[in-house]
Amino acid sequence: MEKDTKGVSLDEFIFRKLQPLRILRGYLANELELCEGDDVRMTRQDLDNMVSTIEIFLEEYDRVSAFRGRKQNHSDRKKASFIDAKPQAIKAIA
């Protein structure tokens, strides 16, 4: 029995996962408008929820991008690393 699975593009995935971040951005913008002066006060729970929202997005993105990386043929592309680029960057600065 074959299961019909609908593939989701990375762009569509990111669009869906960005919705909580957009809500978070709106909440923060609203808090900034409501505050007076330079100090912004919020509860520890609110701040913890914000960090959790960002962490969930990053974990999901890492999971999907790692899956996409495994699907691609690694012999067709060369991965660049920061270690490889470091001597060139030092030469460019000097």
Domain boundaries, the chain: 10-93
**The pLDDT value given to residue 27:** 92
CB-based contacts of 65, cutoff 8 Å, min separation 6: 10
> Within 13 A of 15's CA, how many CA atoms are on the CB side?
5
Q: What is the pTM of this model?
A: 0.55
Instruction: Tell me: pLDDT of 86 over 50.
Output: no
- pLDDT per residue as tens digits for the range 27-85: 999 999 998 888 888 899 999 999 999 998 888 888 877 766 666 645 455 444 445 44
